[in-house]
Amino acid sequence: MPVWIFLFLSAAFSWAVWLSPTSNKVFYVVVWGWRITQPLNTWKLLFGNCLPGLLALVWTFVEGKQQFRDLLSSLVAWRTQFRWYILSIAFPSDVFAASVFLVAIFSPKTELRWLPIVALVNSLVALPFGPLWEEIAWRAFALRKLQNRYSRLVSALIIGVYWAVWHIPLWLVTMNHLTITLLLIIFINLVLWSVIFAFLYDRSEQSLPVTILLHATCLMVQNLVATTVLHTAIRVIPIAAAFSVYLAVVIANGWASTSRSGLLE
């Protein structure tokens, strides 16, 4: 079936969960002896993140054993060059560090407080939900489907636009003081990061662990911003988006050049 139907159903399922009314009850899970307590609303948001990946597994299983095996082979393809793992950590970390540095320079009154434990806990809670299942859906399934019909760069941009649209209800229910301008900046930023994700996925020989690590690092960076740059974390967003534009353009240019060279050879 067309990948567009998959994308439509993924959005419909996730939005239905995210936008459904919930109570203020608190639930907990025990992971490796640690008791993690979160409001029901948080678990609802995390579950909505899982649905596209679960749908991708069911979809490929219905398509046939080979399609299912191809998806799983990407999921376990961790044996790739180590530099791609390094870059998956370096790209978002450098953007975060440079953005916070500029905010601290141009806003001297910015209060900085280093709370890595809070960021680490929040990231570990989200790891089995967002990074893992989203990467199964967007890179291991949808991106590869689109690349059968479009160029790698165009496929990455299509996924990026869809990925940003898919996130809008989540941003609306989780972000305070969200304006139209800020929403547009975040939207463009995510489209650009889709190019970076696709580049690393392609260069690492379609290793999903690489993009899962990239996704998890991005999540960690966002949590660090929220816990480090108190009260002015929102100022980091447009600065980080500017760095993301530069990084994505450089990567896309190099990516396109190597693709043309490969065709000429």
217 Cα distance to chain centroid: 9
What pLDDT is stored for residue 232 in this prediction? Answer: 62
Is 157 in contact with 189 (CB distance < 8 Å)?
no
What pLDDT is stored for residue 265 in this prediction? Answer: 40
Which residue numbers in the chain have pLDDT < 50?
Answer: 262-265
What pLDDT is stored for residue 52 in this prediction? Answer: 97
Q: How far apart are CA 95 and CA 196, in angstroms?
A: 13
Q: How far apart are CA 245 and CA 242, in angstroms?
A: 5
Q: What is the pLDDT of residues 49-106, one digit of tens each?
A: 999 999 999 999 999 999 999 999 999 999 999 999 999 999 999 998 898 888 877 7
Question: Residue 2 to residues 142, 166, 252: CA-CA distances in angstroms?
Answer: 10, 18, 27
Which tokens is 147 given?
């690349």
Q: How far apart are CA 44 and CA 42, in angstroms?
A: 5
Which tokens is 63 given?
């398509």
Question: Residue 152 to residues 68, 105, 123, 218, 260: CA-CA distances in angstroms?
Answer: 22, 38, 30, 22, 12
Q: What is the pLDDT of residues 85-99, one digit of tens each?
A: 999 999 999 998 898
Give the DSSP H or E segment for 229: strand 229-230
What pLDDT is stored for residue 243 in this prediction? Answer: 93
What pLDDT is stored for residue 111 in this prediction? Answer: 61
Which tokens is 250 given?
């450089």
Task: Tell me which residue has tokens 């609303």.
Answer: 41
Q: How far apart are CA 130 and CA 174, in angstroms?
A: 15
